[in-house]
Chain A
Amino acid sequence: MIPKQEKQAVGQRLLAEFRAAGAVEVAPDILLPAESLLDLYGEDIRARAYVTSDPIRGEMMLRPDFTVPVVQAHMSNGAEPARYCYLGEVFRKQDMGDTRPANPRDNEYLQCGFELFTRDPGADAEVFALFHRALAPLELRAEIGDMGLLLDAVAGLPLTQVRAEALMHHIWRPGRFARLLARFSAPAVARDFPPGTGAWSGLRSDAEMTRRIVRLQADAAVPPLSPIWTERLDRLFSLRAPATEALPALRDLAADMPAIADAVTRIEARLRAIAAQGIDLSQVVFDASHGRDTLEYYDGFTFSFQAGRQGWPPVASGGRYDALTRVLGKGREIPAVGGIVRPGLVAELEGAR
């Protein structure tokens, strides 16, 4: 067991590196109003975050991550561009299933993070290189992806807007996404909508239902998606290779899927900027589906640094979350990218050396 002070010390060291990179240190509250977190993450957050109640302030949550409070603080009074860093505990509970895990995960641990709010297109490479430098001695496996690439690919499928939007909505839920795609790839079946027996009940209105029925009836006339497209989409989603090899593969895919051409150009520029920071791209894994199983708020570049130990979460992770600033900004928005390191894991790796 690594003592907490040692983990703190590692956190302070990382924090100093982030400060040296121009970040202003911020210290968000530990008790956060539950409402905006619940609205953002949905019910799943209740299974993971500690919820408590305050007689005056209502339902509160023990900070499950820093991104939301940092974005909220920036959106209400930050100037741009802005770089922030922070160090502190986050709290996560584990709602186990039928059996209690033999080694329950830590329910409180440190996060040291860096968030960058800027319209500068070089921001992705800046953040990734900063994390890469800070973690370089640990020889972790760096993985990157781009959710924007996947979203563009889906938006570019020859689908009706209704179908494309449904697919994009569920891109973070692979099972539901696959079911929808399978349904759109098969001949549509006309449904009948038997009349109900009882009176109308509930807040959802008859008009809302009628709109959906009209939509479904129109959808029944839509021809199925050609298998060529699901095959291309599969090829894209399963692309995983060193970044140097992934790039030519992406260019090949873009020849078949023109909708991803812009995203591939963006990725190419980003990789060039990363290489310009002295990082060997052959040692960076590009995984097209990276970020699909993480939180819903990443919508562009994503990255993680893995120690490859069984049962370990990434030692560091992050990405771009432009849409989150739109949701929390109440009318304002600003491109944003950032990430966190888990100093506790860094301390363990350093202790084992």
Chain B
Amino acid sequence: MIRLGVPSKGRLMEQTFDWFAGRGVRLSRSGSDREYAGRVEGVEGVQLVLLSAGEIPRELAAGRIELGVTGTDLVREKLAGWSSDLIELAPMGFGHADLILAVPDCWRDCRDLDDFAAIARDFRAEHGFRLRIATKYHRLVRAWLAAHEVADYQLVDSQGATEGTVANLTAEAIADITSSGETLRANNLRILDEEPILRSQATLFANRAAMGPQIEALAAQLQIALP
């Protein structure tokens, strides 16, 4: 039996259902909207497990589900050494979002990361503490800034309403996921002129240890070329 983990609500769930339906596999929630059980039609030996998207990386890595749909951002942030445990089977073409670094739009002197690094240095000298970046993507942001040799900053944890932290004076910049950039603009923030820290989209992942004839057969039915 292959256990397939799918986000349990919202657009991500609907788009996942559509993606599978387009490949001849009908997924649905059984019973009422409140019940987290699911049905699978059009293929044998697959069980639908509805989960919070944020828990899917962990469940996949632990082998409690064999397949799972979640964002590349969540996998890379939550699982250190993710590719030792997981295989990216197929990018699914929806749930696009970029992890970006954004600064107040009023910073006319801050165009790119070089400016940002220089401003961070000035800020630390001026205020006596390191410039704060609010984010929930601690590992990804830290690794990216380390790779670009940016110092003089600190991360502050923000699990929600991250765009508001700058106006609330609890951070000077933010690193967050954005798709249209509208919330950023509404909060007077601007994305740095750099490649995003990560381009994320909904992706079908498999547990590496679970790969075998069963998953290969399912992949063939879903028209996925295995890596």
Contact = CB atoms under 8 A, between A and B. Distances in A.
Interface in A184-213: 193-204, 206, 208-209, 211-213
Contacts of A42: 130, 151-154
B58 interface: no
Interface string A170-184: 100111100100000
B36 interface: no
B105 A208 contact: no
Contacts of B106: 196, 198-202, 206, 209
Contacts of A166: 118, 121
Interface of B: 76, 80-85, 104-109, 114, 117-119, 121-123, 126-127, 129-131, 138-139, 142-143, 145-146, 148-155, 166-167, 169, 172, 187-189
Interface of A: 38-39, 42-44, 46-47, 95-101, 166, 169-170, 173-176, 179, 193-204, 206, 208-209, 211-213, 216, 296
Of B109, B114, B139, B166, the most chain A CB neighbours within 10 A belong to B109
5 smallest CB-CB distances across A and B, nearest first, come from A100-B81, A198-B188, A173-B149, A100-B84, A176-B149
A179 B148 CA distance: 11
14 contacts: A43-B142, A97-B81, A98-B82, A166-B121, A179-B114, A195-B108, A198-B106, A201-B105, A202-B166, A203-B127, A203-B169, A203-B172, A212-B118, A213-B109
B197 to A, nearest CB: 14
B131 to A, nearest CB: 8
A99 B130 CA distance: 31
Given A42-B151, A212-B119, 17 more contacts: A38-B154, A39-B130, A43-B142, A43-B146, A44-B146, A46-B142, A98-B76, A98-B82, A173-B149, A174-B149, A175-B148, A176-B117, A201-B104, A202-B172, A203-B127, A209-B108, A216-B109
A208 B121 contact: no
Given A43-B155, A196-B108, A204 B123 contact: yes
B206 to A, nearest CB: 16
B140 to A, nearest CB: 10
Given A39-B129, A43-B142, A99-B81, A173 B108 contact: no
A197 B189 CA distance: 10
Contacts of B138: 46
Nearest to A172: B151
A296 B172 CA distance: 24
Nearest to A166: B118
A138 B205 CA distance: 49
A44 B155 CA distance: 10
Nearest to B80: A96
Contacts of B151: 42, 44, 170, 173, 296
Contact of A199 (B139, B155, B188): B188
B77 to A, nearest CB: 12
Contacts of A173: 149, 151
